[in-house]
Amino acid sequence: MALFGRKKTTDDTKAATPRTGTTSTSRKTTSSRKTTSREKTSPFAGVLLRPVVTEKSYILSEQGKYVFRVTPSATKAQVARAVEDLYGVTVTKVNVTVKSAQRRVFRGIAGATAKEKKAIVTVASGQKIDLLA
């Protein structure tokens, strides 16, 4: 029977050979996404999704404020700890905004945009985060 382009074989030779710990056809369990060293070291790496790079966030970065998309369940304390651990800066303040989902209709099908949560993180004076590197 061919299922998705593979055929089942009923060779007696395959059933008779004992399995060992190392086989040449074993699958690797590695992820296709490359992780950086910062993601491996911090337990709070899952809190920050990505930095927001817009004109407004670039102007805020000159004032020592950086904008990040965060998980919807993240608290201010978790965001502050994650930024301190990942970027090695001192966080003085965290402001959080939540953009609720909006209804949209596309080709007669009703749907909704995703709910977003952003955190504006203020770092101590004299410290910077290089987000574009």
Domain residue ranges in the chain: 34-123
Domain 34-123 in this protein, CATH class:
alpha beta
Of 82, 77, 72, nearest in space to 129 by CA? 82
Which residue bears the tokens 């927001």?
52
| pLDDT in single tens digits along all 133 residues of the chain | 555 555 555 655 555 555 555 555 555 555 555 555 554 556 776 899 999 999 999 999 999 999 999 999 999 999 999 999 988 999 999 999 999 989 999 999 999 988 899 999 999 998 888 877 6
The confidence score (pLDDT) of residue 131 equals 77
Do 121 and 81 form a contact (C-beta atoms < 8 A)?
A: no
| DSSP assignment letter at 133 | -
The confidence score (pLDDT) of residue 29 equals 53
Write phi, then psi, for 83 (nearest 5 degrees).
-65, -40
